[in-house]
Structure 1
């Protein structure tokens, strides 16, 4: 008679990392993703005019880009648009996160999540065409063709990127702290200003940085919405690629890459610990 009380051996948990060939496929994927970026960075220090032939180490193209008036104008314009767009999108995303996370459960909450995150799911070119048509109607009606259209377009596109870290921060917050402030006779605004907002601050800063990076790097929406003479740095680089290509483009790309990596590293640090300390 067999002993049925003996404990059965536990099944090993499935892990994709133990599958044959996983490491090799991962290495190939990483090489395909990052090898072109490494090439751009290396050839940005090329002393020659060729983007494919190494002729020596030099910072010549960084100096050329620094002294290029068109690059300076496009950079300043990109920073202005990204700064305004990140502030607007972060404010909207903060209010949306408070309404959907701290407003209690209500009918239509899932639909609101879907609407806020729609720009992440819809192809960017569809959003760009829709914004082009919408802003063209306003241009015809008002005659205005300034940077406000680009700022509004970037802000609309960046809202879900700012919303996600803010919402994640709010979901990890201890609501008992707000209740304790209310028990101590704090008004709703005072409780928000002294308790909720400081606890939300890392998520808000992370959302603003992510929105800034997305706006700074955007090409498709900018290319559709911008008017003549409103090139940002990415669209300026795209225009240069249609003409004679020099390592100056590599130098600009490397600088953009460095800015993006720094901001995304700060974003990771701020969002690594989602649960605020009591």
Structure 2
């Protein structure tokens, strides 16, 4: 009886791992296209800020800080060399703080009313809130100027007319921001507090307000940034006053000192510090939970 031997197995090649396979340049470009576009967009957004920070250390030859001449700390050592500029900054800060507080309080109450209650004309009011955001600022400024001229006269234009105008367009942004926070909040948390015999005031203080506080803070920061940065509406309602954006526009025509870049750099540094602090506090709060 003869043994039957199996035929020799054909040689097999081990499959190459995926990372060892060669990828075509087109496939690599498809995988990294989104990352490359994102990086380019961030570079495009941050490059002006980097240039402003760099030019704040320039010692210009003439009145305009447009061309790099040589490194100097003179502008940083005396950022208020021009008293008119510092006065305009102080005016913008005062208007921004008052407009932010009023717009945040009004916008937060409107957002609660729009989310928590159902009433007549609710949809119409919701549509009207978007008008200040959608309307051109030139039209809004001219309309407000006509309103103030017919009510208080041209001589009454000043601090309060600017503040009223800023509150008007900041309220819409506050409402939208706080509404988005309220819409994402779990309503069962408030009902659980009420089941534990918490009064409406206690529920709002210890449950609702802490949950909505990040949205309110974000809305306040947005309102302050919009107020301190506005030029078009302000120029129609300022009268004889001059805010910081108005001063910059005038400086572009007659002189542009390096101190303007210093103030812009300081605003950028403060903004980044606030964002970094909020991130640190948020991570610390998450770690405690």
TM-score, scaled relative to structure 2:
0.75
Shift of 1:266: 6.0
Is residue 165–residue 207 contact of structure 1 (8 Å, CA) maintained in 2?
A: yes
**Which is greater in Rg?**
2
Query: Please, which moves more after superposition, 74-83 or 31-40?
Result: 31-40
Matches of 1:93 and 1:268, distance apart in 2: 24
| Counterpart contact for 1:203–1:271, Cα < 8 Å | no
Q: CA deviation at 1:20?
A: 10
Q: For the aligned residues, what is the CA RMSD?
A: 3.2
Confirm or deny: 8 A CA contact 2:60 2:68 kept in the other structure.
Answer: yes
1:67 is paired with a residue whose SS is coil
Match of 2:12 in 1: none
Corresponding position of 1:242: 253
Measure the CA separation in 1 of the matches of 2:93 and 2:259: 20
Q: CA deviation at 1:108?
A: 3.8
Q: CA deviation at 1:26?
A: 5.7
Match of 2:94 in 1: 80
- Which piece of structure 1 moves more, 78-87 or 42-51? 42-51
Q: Distance in 2 between matches of 1:127 and 1:71?
A: 27
Contact kept, 8 Å, 1:210 with 1:264, in 2: the verdict is no
| Alignment map for 1:1-278 (pairs within 5 Å) | 18=30, 30=42, 32-50=44-62, 51-103=65-117, 105-106=118-119, 108-140=121-153, 144-228=156-240, 230-263=241-274
SS in 2 for 1:242: helix
- Please state how far the C-alpha of 1:237 moved relative to its aligned partner: 1.3
**1:74 and 1:233 in contact (8 A); partners too:** yes
Aligned equivalents of 2:274, 2:222: Cα separation in 1 = 7
Cα contact 1:209–1:263 (8 A) shared by 2 = no
Structure 1 unpaired stretches of 5+: 1-16
Q: Residues 131 and 269 of structure 1: is their aligned pair in 2 closer, same or farther, counting only changes over 3 Å?
A: farther
Q: Provide the aligned length of Structure 1 versus Structure 2.
A: 256
Structure 1 residues 7-66: Cα deviation after superposition (integer angstroms, max 9, x where no partner): xxxxxxxxxx94997677666655554433332221111123353432222121233432
| SS of equivalent residue, structure 1 residue 65 | coil
Q: Would the aligned equivalents of 1:165 and 1:271 in 2 still touch at CA under 8 Å? A: no
1:70 is paired with a residue of what secondary structure? helix
Asked if 1 retains the 8 angstrom alpha-carbon contact of 2:76 and 2:259, the reply is yes
**CA distance in structure 2 between the aligned counterparts of 1:258 and 1:99, rounded to whole angstroms:** 36
* Cα pair distance change 1:234/1:27, threshold 3 Å: same
- The superposition leaves residues 156-183 of structure 1 with CA deviations (integer Å, 9 ceiling, x where unpaired) of 1111222222112211212122223333
Q: Which runs of 5+ in 2 are unaligned?
A: 1-28
Question: Which whole-Å CA distance do the structure 1 matches of 2:280 and 2:164 have between them?
Answer: 29
Displacement after TM superposition at 1:154 (Å): 0.8
TM superposition score normalised by structure 1:
0.78
